[in-house]
């Protein structure tokens, strides 16, 4: 602990002990538990959304704010976490956030109106968003380089499994207990987190001069820019993008926010978002790759359950079980990954991961209207391998590409890029699905008309079947036409989703040249973490 404190206070980084102390691992456990809780709560409400909307009196459109409110506040807090850690001190900051996360979770669970639910979710997003980059910072600053791979593997596993476990846990609680326990379950977890934080982190003092002398231009720009951008990406497709005055307004606010962030890079002594880190080509390549992998990760987490729901008729719990298949390789590979990270070149691992992820998407381009959960087994397992091979080295490469003093800002940018990639990916996927589905429906209807031979044969056969069951010719003809329309829609959905998986594969393959810019950090003891600059 003393070594860590002196390393942070001074300009030079002394040699670290070969093995971390027990208290250091307690700190790592605390950071990891906080990150797991924060990533889990991103998606835990997705499966329980119908029950929550019914209880708080929200329509389908209004209910999306239960998820959007969390994402908006979280993506703003993530890059602010490094500055707020400097202001309040790491222990004080995390203790406050853990306590407030618990309070806001109780607000959500006790809500009987949409307004209070959104207030609680926004509060959860702010406080939970702080726990993700700080977990990475704790690992970077408390573990010696010889054990850094173990810590980063734990963090990467949490980031991958949190969004996968969320819908499954939320769906099970909503079906078997109550949707309120999607939030009340955070109470015992937060109590355990508070105990670990008190035991694992040393007491520290606030630095109020960092608050007074902060980059307020950048803070305002970041707050309005990222929150507005998230809203535009989440709601744009639903409101027909720039045909909506609301989307145009929030797009203008986003642009203003980014202009303020740009100005702050030149006028602030310590910009709140240190974009200068992107001048380092190694770190910049990590950010671009994790943006694309984030888009793929969140995109697949949306596409697979949607396909299983629309085509296979699966409920949320059944879809969640299929999604969990990609978590199996994560658990199996966890003991091996720290050793691989220490021996293999990062470029080999990331390229292998991107190829596995891309091939898994290609597997899903051969879907049919008869496809069910078992048809996703091999693609999900291969996807899990790809995600682990790609994300684990990226986690460590993002930290090893910068100095210890820059690790907080670097962690904020890294996690923001992953989440922003997810938001952009989902927005692009929404546009592709909407437009390609409409195209395929129109094309199929044009080829299967009432005057076409295939259309007449299908309607006649279906009508005969309905007539035999009901004895009503008019009703049988109507049901046959409705059945044909449903089949056309189903085939259009299958074709659209196959194309979307194909485009995801192309985007992941396009990142392979960037992965060649990565480099494994030197492992000799005593080397400065910034030696690679």
3-state helix, strand, coil in the chain (%, to 5): 80, 0, 20
Digit-coded pLDDT (tens) for 220-231: 998 888 888 888
Residues 6 or more apart whose Cβ sits within 8 Å of residue 173 = 48, 179, 181, 182, 185
User: Can you spell out the DSSP letters for 149-174?
Assistant: HHHHHHHHHHHHHHHHHHHHHHHHHH
Digit-coded pLDDT (tens) for 363-404: 988 888 888 888 888 988 998 888 888 877 887 777 777 777
Sign of CA dihedral 398, 265, 210, 124: negative
Digit-coded pLDDT (tens) for 146-172: 777 777 777 777 777 777 788 778 878
Q: How many CA atoms lie within 13 A of 520 on its CB side?
A: 18
Which CATH number does the domain 278-431+498-524+529-533 belong to among 2.102.10.10, 1.20.1250.20, 3.40.50.10540, 3.60.9.10? 1.20.1250.20
pLDDT band with cut points at 50, 70 and 90 for residue 100: very high
Instruction: Report yes or no: 201 and 90 within 8 Å, Cβ to Cβ.
Output: yes
Judge whether residue 182 has pLDDT over 80.
yes
Q: What is the pLDDT of residue 455?
A: 59
* Strand, helix or coil for residue 335: coil
Q: What is the pLDDT of residue 14?
A: 44
Q: What is the pLDDT of residue 4?
A: 44
Looking at CATH, the fold of the domain delimited by 21-214 is given as Growth Hormone; Chain: A; (1.20.1250)
Judge whether residue 16 has pLDDT over 50.
no
Q: What is the pLDDT of residue 528?
A: 37
Burial 410-431 (b: 16+ CB within 10 A, else e): bbbbbbbbbbbbbbbbbbbbbe
Give me the chain's average pLDDT, please.
Answer: 79
- Nearest-10 crossing angle of helices 473-510, 453-470: 130
Digit-coded pLDDT (tens) for 238-296: 777 888 888 899 899 999 999 998 998 888 888 888 888 888 888 888 888 888 878 87
Higher-confidence position of 415 and 105 = 105
Digit-coded pLDDT (tens) for 334-361: 777 777 777 777 788 888 888 998 999 9
Burial status of residue 112 (CB atoms within 10 A of its CB: 0-12, 13-18, 19 or more): exposed
Q: What is the pLDDT of residue 287?
A: 87
Q: What is the pLDDT of residue 255?
A: 93
Instruction: Report yes or no: 298 and 162 within 8 Å, Cβ to Cβ.
Output: no
Q: Give the residue-averaged pLDDT of 97-111.
A: 91
Q: What is the pLDDT of residue 335?
A: 76
Digit-coded pLDDT (tens) for 475-528: 666 666 666 667 777 788 888 989 999 988 888 888 888 787 776 554 434 333
Are both 21-214 and 278-431+498-524+529-533 of the same fold? yes
Percent of the chain scoring above 70 in pLDDT: 85
Tokens of 530: 């910034």
Burial 285-309 (b: 16+ CB within 10 A, else e): bbbbbbbbbbbbbbbbbbbbbebbe
Give the residue extent of every domain in the chain.
Answer: 21-214, 216-271, 278-431+498-524+529-533, 439-492
Helix (H), strand (E), coil (C) string for 268-330: CCCCCCCHHHHHCHHHHHHHHHHHHHHHHHHHHHHHHHHHHHHCCCCCHHHHHHHHHHHHHHH
Residues in the chain: 533
Q: Give the residue-averaged pLDDT of 311-319.
A: 77
Higher-confidence position of 409 and 475 = 409
Judge whether residue 449 has pLDDT over 70.
no
Q: What phi and psi, each to the nearest 5 degrees, are found at residue 343?
A: -110, -35
């Amino acid at each position: 602990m003393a070594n860590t404190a002196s390393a942070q206070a001074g300009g030079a980084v002394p040699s670290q002990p070969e093995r971390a102390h027990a208290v250091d691992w307690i700190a790592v456990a605390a950071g990891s538990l906080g990150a797991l809780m924060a990533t889990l709560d991103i998606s835990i409400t997705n499966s329980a959304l119908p029950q929550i909307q019914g209880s708080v009196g929200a329509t389908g459109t209004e209910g999306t704010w239960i998820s959007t409110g969390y994402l908006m506040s979280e993506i703003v807090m993530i890059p602010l976490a490094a500055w707020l850690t400097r202001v309040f001190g790491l222990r004080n900051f995390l203790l406050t956030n853990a306590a407030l996360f618990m309070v806001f979770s109780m607000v959500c669970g006790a809500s009987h109106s949409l307004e209070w639910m959104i207030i609680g979710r926004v509060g959860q997003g702010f406080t939970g968003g702080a726990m993700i980059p700080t977990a990475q910072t704790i690992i970077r600053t408390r573990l010696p380089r010889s054990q850094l791979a173990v810590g980063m593997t734990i963090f990467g596993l949490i980031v991958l499994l949190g969004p996968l476990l969320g819908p499954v846990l939320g769906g099970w609680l909503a079906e078997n207990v109550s949707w309120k326990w999607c939030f009340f379950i955070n109470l015992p977890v937060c109590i355990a987190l508070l105990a670990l934080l008190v035991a694992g982190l040393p007491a520290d003092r606030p630095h109020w001069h960092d608050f007074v002398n902060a980059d307020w231009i950048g803070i305002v720009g970041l707050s309005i820019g990222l929150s507005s951008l998230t809203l535009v990406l989440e709601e744009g497709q639903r409101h027909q993008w720039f045909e909506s005055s609301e989307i145009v307004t929030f797009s203008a606010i986003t642009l203003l926010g980014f202009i303020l962030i740009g100005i702050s890079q030149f006028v602030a002594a310590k910009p709140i978002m240190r974009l200068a880190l992107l001048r380092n080509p190694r770190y910049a390549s990590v950010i671009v790759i994790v943006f694309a992998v984030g888009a793929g990760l969140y995109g697949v987490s949306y596409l697979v359950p949607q396909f299983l729901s629309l085509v296979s008729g699966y409920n949320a719990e059944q879809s969640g079980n299929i999604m969990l298949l990609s978590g199996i390789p994560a658990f199996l590979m966890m003991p091996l990954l720290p050793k691989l990270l220490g021996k293999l070149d990062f470029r080999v691992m990331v390229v292998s991961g991107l190829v596995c992820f891309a091939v898994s998407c290609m597997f899903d381009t051969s879907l049919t209207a008869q496809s069910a959960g078992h048809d996703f087994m091999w693609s999900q397992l291969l996807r899990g391998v790809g995600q682990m091979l790609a994300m684990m080295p990226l986690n460590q490469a993002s930290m090893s590409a910068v100095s210890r003093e820059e690790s907080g800002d670097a962690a904020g940018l890294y996690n923001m890029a992953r989440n922003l990639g997810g938001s952009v990916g989902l927005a692009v996927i929404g546009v592709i699905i909407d437009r390609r589905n409409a195209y395929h429906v129109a094309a199929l209807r044009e080829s299967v008309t009432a005057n076409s031979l295939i259309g007449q044969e299908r309607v006649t056969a279906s009508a005969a079947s309905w007539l035999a069951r009901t004895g009503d010719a008019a009703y049988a003809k109507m049901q046959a036409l409705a059945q044909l329309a449903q089949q056309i829609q189903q085939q259009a959905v299958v074709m659209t989703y196959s194309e979307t998986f194909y485009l995801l594969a192309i985007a992941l393959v396009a990142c392979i040249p960037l992965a060649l810019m990565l480099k494994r950090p030197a492992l000799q003891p005593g080397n400065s973490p910034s030696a690679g600059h």
